[in-house]
Amino acid sequence: MKIYTSSAATIYLIGSGGMGLSHPCDSHVYVIESAGECAMIDAGSGVKPERLYERMLEDGIDPLTIKTIILTHSHWDHSRGAAWAKRLTGARLAVHQLGVKTMQDIRWPTSHLEKHGIQSEAAHVECPLQDNDVIQLGRISLKVIHTPGHSDDSICLHTDIDGKSILFGGDTCFAEGGHGTVNAETNFRAYRDSVKRLDAIKIDVLLPGHKHFVLSRAFSHISLLERKLSGSWTDVVQTRVPFFPTWWLEHDSSLYDDAQPEVRS
């Protein structure tokens, strides 16, 4: 499903459990194409991965043009499909260096699938990533931003396409100020600092790992999460704001900058 296009690049959503594009276990799976070269962002759960292939064919994507598979982190719903995707495409696999061991050795022994007796394959990582690495793709570049919090190995990918600031957010930030799963192990200070860093970029387009994407003014959604993580713990517990978040509108005066009707002479 084509979700963003410009003269420099096109972005497709080829997998999503939440949106019903592929198996319910899947995170969102994106393909970004520029000058005939593609990268896959996340690889889904690996359950019924042929559904991702069907979506590729519907969108006219040749799997052999996918040169890099980049994982936003090594949680199984995003990454267990990497072994399948590597076989299909012949692409190199990239994940933050803290996620390499999970992909190659650990392989999600505590996942729902393993509990049901479904084994997982190792996937060799050719490109261990670090903060500020840059991945070239056709006419654009994807910058790696290490965003520990939801997981130690979480990254976001930032790119500018024709003047639009675009972020693949993984499970670090969702629309409407949503955040990824947290538990007693979560490093909330690291999470807060990661989101502060994203908030400073002024993102236009947010393409997260789950739930809906945001095609304009995404900075307001990220700012909302920054305020929640910088506030009291009760702010963090609230994971979602109403669909029409009136208190958010009250707090972002920039929303009214272009609210006046155009005057035509």
Rounded least distance, CB 238 to Zn ion, Å: 20
Rounded least distance, CB 153 to Zn ion, Å: 10
Nearer CB in complex with Zn ion: 137/157: 157
Nearer CB in complex with Zn ion: 75/146: 75
If we measure between CA atoms, which residue out of 160, 142, 18 comes closest to residue 72?
Answer: 142
Q: Helix (H, G, I), strand (E, B), or coil: what is residue 29?
A: strand
If we measure between CA atoms, which residue out of 7, 16, 11, 49 comes closest to residue 32?
Answer: 11
Residues 146-175 that bind Zn ion (CB under 5 A): 171
Question: Does 28 contact Zn ion by CB under 5 A?
Answer: no
Nearer CB in complex with Zn ion: 61/198: 198
Amino acid at 122: A
User: What are the CA-CA distances from residue 123 to residues 70, 92, 113 (Å)?
Assistant: 12, 10, 17
Rounded least distance, CB 17 to Zn ion, Å: 13
Rounded least distance, CB 102 to Zn ion, Å: 11
Nearer CB in complex with Zn ion: 158/210: 210
Adjacent-strand bridge partners of 32? 11, 39
Place of tokens 């945001």: 214
Rounded least distance, CB 236 to Zn ion, Å: 17
Region of 33-41, 74-82, 137-145, 248-256 interacting with Zn ion (CB under 5 A): 74-82
Nearer CB in complex with Zn ion: 111/230: 111
- HEC sequence for 221-262: HHHHHHHHHHCCHHHHHCCCCCCCCHHHHHHCHHHHCCCCCC
Among 75, 80, 86, 158, binds Zn ion (CB under 5 A): 75
Q: Helix 188-199 to helix 218-230 angle, to the nearest 10 degrees? A: 150
Rounded least distance, CB 80 to Zn ion, Å: 12
Nearer CB in complex with Zn ion: 8/182: 182
Q: Which residues bind Zn ion (CB under 5 A)?
A: 75, 171
